[in-house]
Amino acid sequence: SYQLLFNPIKINELTLQSRVIMGSMHVGLEGEENGLEKLIAFYKERAKNKVGLIVTGGAAVCPEGSGGVHFMSIHKDDDVEYWKPLTKAVHDVDGKIALQLFHAGRYAYKALTGYDVVAPSAIQSPINPDVPVALTAEQVEATVTAFGSAAKRAKQAGFDAVEIMGSEGYLINQFTSPVTNQRDDEWGGSFEKRIRFSLEIVKAVRENVGPTFPIIFRMSGLDLIESSTSDEETKRWAKELEKMSVDLLNIGIGWHESKVPTISMKVPRNRFVPVATAIKEAVSIPVIASNRINNPEDAEKILQSGAADMISMARPFLADPAILTKAYEQRLEDINTCIACNQACLDHVFELKTASCLVNPEAGRELELQIVPTERRKRILVVGAGPGGIEAARVLALRGHSVTIADQGDAIGGQLNFSRIVPGKSEFNETIRYYNTQLRKLNVQVRLKHKITTDDPLVHEADEIIISTGILPRKPDLIGIDSDFVVSYKDIFESRVETKENVVIIGGGGVACDLAFLLKEKGAENITMLQRGKAFARGIGKTTRWATLMELKMKKIRMIGGISEYKTIKNNAVSFLQNGEEHSVPADLVVYASGQLPNNSLYASLKAKGKQVHIIGGAKDASELDAKKAIYEGAIVARKI
C-alpha cells in the first residue's frame, strides 16, 4: 500500500495532496480554436485525480525565447487575465498548478518566433537551423528581469508556484554548460560565472513573488553532452540554487540534442532515479526524480527507499489522467500505462501538431471525445481484436452497447503482439493487459480462435458490425519470392519459422527494423536490410528514428538502400542492382517486410448481404497504418453508433 505517495508534502507555504507532480508538457492546444477552453479541460481532467501539482508547458518569458507562436506565454501583461480561467478551473477541483517559466535560447526557431534566436554564445545547436546571436550583457540582464516579471504575472494569474526551466538544454542550461557558453564577461568562463545567470534569475523571481511563494527549479542533473557540466559541478549548482531560496529541485535528464535516449521505450523504467539521488545527497530541500517512471508502485518504492522526495510523471498522465486515483483505489490493473512510444505526444510536438496519446486518444481531446451513454442499446459485433477493434469494443461497452469481439488468433492485441516481443518493447504488454482487463470488466464477449464468416450466427445476431480485421503483409513481386526459404514478417513474429545464420530482410521501414532486432536476438548472425529508398527507418517518428538508426548500427545490421532492381532470390543469395552494378548478399532466409494490404474481404461480403457495417484501421487503409491510427479510429467509430 501507499505510505508516501499520497502523504501530503509542504513546499514552502503550499501543501500538495500527493508526492507526484505532473511534469511539464507542451501539448499545443493553446494554438487551436477555443484553445484555452481545450487546455482547461485537459488540465482539469488531471487536476481532479490526486496530482500533487501540475506543471504547465513552458510559458515564454520573452517572445524570442518562445517555442513558437502557439506556445504558452507570460511576457505580456494581458497574459495575467488570460490564464486566470485556467488556474480557477484547477482550483475548483482542488488541484494545484505551477507555471513553467521558459526560454528556449538556441532551441528556438526564428521561423516560428519571428525573432533572432539568442544564446550565451553564437554557437548553433546540431538539431536547429538557426545560428544564434550572442546576448549582450545588457540583454542578459534584461532576460533576468523578464524572468522576474513573468513570475510576478504568474502569481497574479493565480498559479500556485512557478517552475524555472533550467534543463533539457534550454537557455539557462546553455549558460551553465561550457559547451554552449564561451563568454568571457561576467556571465561566462568559470563555473561560478556560468551558473550566475540561473542564480540571478532565482533572485529576481524571489523578489517578485515574495518569500512564501514556492519556486521550483528544473535543473539538469545530467547533460549527456560531451565536455559539458561535470557531476561535481552539478552538485555545487544544486547547493547554490538552494542558497538562493529555491524550494524544490526537479531533476531533468539530457538535452534535446543528446545522443543518448532518455525517455524512449528502450530506456529501462526508473533508469535515471540515481541522478536525482546524487543531488538529493548534496542539498536539504526536496528533490524530484523523473524520466521513465510510469508505475505508481515503482514511485512508492522510490520514495520509500529515500532515493527522492517526489516523483515527476508527465506522459503517464496523457495515457491515463486517473492513474493516481486508480492507484489509490488499488486498481492498478485498470491503469492505461504510458508505453513511452512518443508517437502521439512528443513526436506531434516536434511536428508542430497538438499532442495526444497513442493508447488514449482522449488526451488533448477532452471536449471532443466524451463517453455519451447510448439511447438505444444495440448488439455490436467487432471482427478483429487488434488495437482498433479492442478500443472500439471498450468504448461501445462503456456507452452501454452489448458487444462481442471475435478474433481468429488466440489472444487480443493483433499486431501489438508483434511489437511486444521486440527487444526493448515489452511495454506493449501493458496495453494488452489494460484492454484485457477493460473488456472483462465491461462484460464484452471475447471470442478467440473464432474466424468470422458471413454466415456466422454472430453476424446474424448483430445489429451493427465493425470490421477491424487489419492487414495482410504485401508480398513483393520478385523473381524467386515463392521459394520455400522466403517468408513474411508475420511468419517470424508468429514464430512459425526459425531464424537462420544469414538473413536478408526486404524492406527498411519500422516493421523491418523491429524484425531485424528480433532476429538478432533470436541468433541470426548476419542480417541485411534491402530497400529501394535511401533513408532507413522512415515512418518512425522524429524523437525515435535517430535512436533506431543508432541501434541498427550498434547491432551491426547491414543497410543497403538505393536498390534500383531486384534480380533474383535464390537459395544462398539475393542479387540486385545498385548504382548500375549487380551485387549479391548471402541468404539462407529471406523475410519480406515491404508494406501491407488491407484485409477487407469480409467487409465487402457483409456489405453485399445488406448488413450495417463499419470499417476501421488497416482493413480500411493499410498505408501509413500504425497502432495510433487504429486506436483513434476505433475510438471514433464507437462514438458514432
Name the site residues for ligand SF4 (rule: CB under 6 A).
Answer: 315, 318-319, 338-345, 357-359
CA neighbor of 48 nearest in space, from 97, 13, 98, 81: 97
- 617 in contact with ligand MDE (CB under 6 A): no
Residue 201's CB: how many other CB atoms inside 10 A?
29
The C-alpha cell at 557 is 545490421
- 293 in contact with ligand MDE (CB under 6 A): no
Q: Answer whether 408's CB lies under 8 Å from 449's CB.
A: yes
**Residue 187 binds which entry of ligand MDE, ligand SF4, none, CB below 5-8 Å type-dependent:** none
Closest to ligand SF4 by CB, 233 vs 334, is 334
Residue 342's region, left for phi above 0, alpha for psi from -120 to 50, else beta, is left
Residue 314's CB: how many other CB atoms inside 10 A?
20
**Residue 438 binds which entry of ligand SF4, ligand MDE, none, CB below 5-8 Å type-dependent:** none
Residue tagged active-site, from 2, 43, 170, 632: 170
Closest to ligand MDE by CB, 260 vs 367, is 260
Q: Is 435 a catalytic residue?
A: no
Among 70, 193, 532, 542, binds ligand MDE (CB under 6 A): 542
- 110 in contact with ligand MDE (CB under 6 A): no
Q: How far is the CB of 634 from ligand MDE (least distance, A)?
A: 28
* Residues of span 42-101 touching ligand MDE by CB under 6 A: 57-58, 67
* Residues of span 129-188 touching ligand MDE by CB under 6 A: 168
Beta strand pairing status for 596-598 and 471-473? antiparallel
Closest to ligand SF4 by CB, 197 vs 317, is 317
**Residue 519 binds which entry of ligand SF4, ligand MDE, none, CB below 5-8 Å type-dependent:** none
The C-alpha cell at 517 is 532486432
- 543 in contact with ligand MDE (CB under 6 A): yes
- 35 in contact with ligand MDE (CB under 6 A): no
**Residue 343 binds which entry of ligand SF4, ligand MDE, none, CB below 5-8 Å type-dependent:** ligand SF4
Cα 578 to Cα 267: distance, rounded to the nearest angstrom: 36
Q: Which residues pair with 526 in a beta bridge?
A: 502
Reduce the DSSP state of residue 183 to 3 states and report it: coil
Please give the backbone phi and psi of residue 95, each rounded to the nearest 5 degrees, phi first: -90, 170
Cα 531 to Cα 509: distance, rounded to the nearest angstrom: 9
Q: Answer whether 282's CB lies under 8 Å from 239's CB.
A: yes
Q: How far is the CB of 58 from ligand MDE (least distance, A)?
A: 3
Residue 186's CB: how many other CB atoms inside 10 A?
13
Cα 203 to Cα 145: distance, rounded to the nearest angstrom: 10
Among 259, 331, 441, 609, binds ligand MDE (CB under 6 A): 259
Q: Which stretch binds ligand MDE (CB under 6 A): 364-372, 485-493, 524-532, 542-550?
A: 542-550
Cα 574 to Cα 570: distance, rounded to the nearest angstrom: 6
Beta strand pairing status for 248-253 and 287-289? parallel
* Residues of span 546-605 touching ligand MDE by CB under 6 A: 546
Give CA separation, 52 vs 47, 49, 86, 357, 384, in Å. Answer: 8, 9, 17, 22, 40
Closest to ligand MDE by CB, 67 vs 364, is 67
The owner of cell 524530484 is 288
Q: How far is the CB of 275 from ligand MDE (least distance, A)?
A: 14
- 389 in contact with ligand MDE (CB under 6 A): no
The catalytic residues are: 170
Residues in contact with ligand MDE by CB under 6 A are: 24, 26, 57-58, 67, 102, 104, 107-108, 126-127, 168, 254, 256-259, 262-263, 346, 349-350, 542-543, 546
